[in-house]
Amino acid sequence: MTASSGLTIVIKLGTSSIVDEKTHEPILSILTLIVETVTRLHRDGHRVVLVSSGAVGVGLRRMDVTERPKHLPRIQALAAVGQCRLMSLWDNLFSHLRVAVAQILLTRNDIADRTQYVNAQNTFEQLFDMGVVPIVNENDTLAVSEIKFGDNDTLSAITAAMVKADYLFLMTDVDCLYTANPRTNPDAEPIEVVSDISSLEADVSSAGSALGTGGMGTKIVAAKLGTSAGVTTIITKSSKPGNVHEIVKYLQRLQENSTAAASGADTSTLEVPTAPLHTRFLPSDTPIQSRTFWLLHGLNPHGTLYIDHGAYHALMNKANLLPAGVIGVEGHFGQQEAVRLVVVERPSADALNGDFLHHAHEPKEVGRALVNYGSIEIAHIMGHRSTQIESLLGYADSDYVAVRENISFHPEDRHSHPVTPALTPALEEWKSG
């Protein structure tokens, strides 16, 4: 977040680092070291957010339940018990170092509205100004699957983008990302720097600890989200929280050296910094903007719009989405809800008689949109000109299914599909019609 000095740092601590996997007792040594590390960063002038899992784990211990239940209401009840105790634990530890903390519990619903998203950003900023450390968790007690982030790795990446963080630290029970799960593969090799996640070769398929929800897979997803928003994402070991401080210093020194090199200074005498083992995912050179990030990752899509290549190219050229470019709709959604955009071949007349999606070649989600019409209306108006909307629906709220400012493309798609400057004749017709 913009501020006169200091960095904005989000530190995510997984369940495996907060409670013992078997006894579910809090791992006080890690919690205390985290508090010391956060306080040190704070005193160095950085703004720090802690994303803390562990509500369910702490709740298990409090209620003497030995295994994580399967029944959702029971998990939610345990989270309600545990979250209270977890926050009291953090508050207590931080209070010894005179650092105030604040609890922020989020579900996707809380940020689905743009105004609420911006409000959340303002609250974080206010807390930073007041010198408070916000402690974030998913609001497990309320979150049902439709409004869940699902895991705190994803939540921490969304939080990092929301506060425009410089660094996101995913603290876990392994040193870094390995080529395979080090618990079961002694030959697995550490991966230190990832500059392109799409070409990453690491087996992250195996599950994580008994209480953790994500494993390494969700950390990669979080790194993808974080780096797309310009956040350097780091995986490191939670039992050595002092690593965070050392890695921050190391990255600052690397930055100073590269600035010196860029200015033509003699760098031969500069100290080559070293850092404890970690994996660093480099941020995108062209980070996506806050609103684009929110459209792509803040909202839960309620359905899918299948659009043809002509419409896709028109959107890439900043046009709005006309009903004529939509060839299919799936799911039940209302006005101003988010949908996936999937590009497919326009079906032949034969295919139109059957289920065209079976004829589509590798349908691929290219982006997300907030729609001006619900699924039922779009099913009526798709393939038609905007001038026909009123006669088809009896009203016309908009000429467009979605306006361009409410459409965002995934970054990899923005790069892999060159924009075609010329519109197809059909699109010319739609635009003029």
Ligand X SMILES: Nc1ncnc2c1ncn2[C@@H]1O[C@H](COP(=O)(O)OP(=O)(O)O)[C@@H](O)[C@H]1O
Residue 199 burial by Cβ neighbours in a 10 Å radius (0-12, 13-18, 19+):
exposed
Residue 194: CB minimum distance to ligand X, A: 12
Cα–Cα distance for residue pair 269/79, rounded to 1 Å: 54
Cα–Cα distance for residue pair 146/299, rounded to 1 Å: 10
Cα–Cα distance for residue pair 137/84, rounded to 1 Å: 12
Q: Does residue 55 bind ligand VHF (CB under 6 A)? A: yes
The residue among 50 and 204 lying less far from ligand X, judged by its C-beta, is 204
Residue 151: CB minimum distance to ligand VHF, A: 4
The residue among 216 and 275 lying less far from ligand X, judged by its C-beta, is 216
Candidates 11, 99, 106, 151: give the one binding ligand VHF (CB under 6 A): 151
Out of ligand VHF, ligand X, none, what residue 181 binds, judged by CB under 5 to 8 A for its kind, is ligand X
Out of ligand VHF, ligand X, none, what residue 182 binds, judged by CB under 5 to 8 A for its kind, is ligand X
Q: Does residue 166 bind ligand VHF (CB under 6 A)? A: no
Q: Does residue 56 bind ligand VHF (CB under 6 A)? A: yes
Alpha carbon distances (Å) from 254 to 211, 250, 260, 275, 394:
36, 6, 10, 11, 63
Out of ligand VHF, ligand X, none, what residue 178 binds, judged by CB under 5 to 8 A for its kind, is ligand X
Q: Does residue 225 bind ligand VHF (CB under 6 A)? A: no
Residue 191 burial by Cβ neighbours in a 10 Å radius (0-12, 13-18, 19+):
middle
Q: Please list every residue from 24 through 53 that binds ligand VHF, using CB under 6 A.
A: 53
Query: Per-residue x/- marks for ligand VHF, 200-219, CB under 6 A?
Result: ------------xxx-----
| Residues engaged in binding ligand X (CB under 6 A) | 14-17, 172-174, 177-178, 180-183, 202-204, 206, 208-209, 212, 214-216
The residue among 39 and 213 lying less far from ligand X, judged by its C-beta, is 213
Q: Does residue 226 bind ligand VHF (CB under 6 A)? A: no
Please identify the residue of the shown chain whose CB is closest to the bound ligand X.
14
Q: Which amino acid is at 114?
A: R
Out of ligand VHF, ligand X, none, what residue 172 binds, judged by CB under 5 to 8 A for its kind, is ligand X
Q: Does residue 107 bind ligand VHF (CB under 6 A)? A: no
Residue 306: CB minimum distance to ligand VHF, A: 32
Residue 84: CB minimum distance to ligand VHF, A: 12
Q: Does residue 310 bind ligand VHF (CB under 6 A)? A: no
Out of ligand X, ligand VHF, none, what residue 154 binds, judged by CB under 5 to 8 A for its kind, is none
Quick check: 365 and 408 in contact, CB under 8 A? no
Write out the two tokens for 112. 């689905």
Q: Does residue 159 bind ligand VHF (CB under 6 A)? A: no
Residues that bind ligand VHF (CB under 6 A): 14-16, 53-57, 79, 137-138, 140, 151-152, 212-214
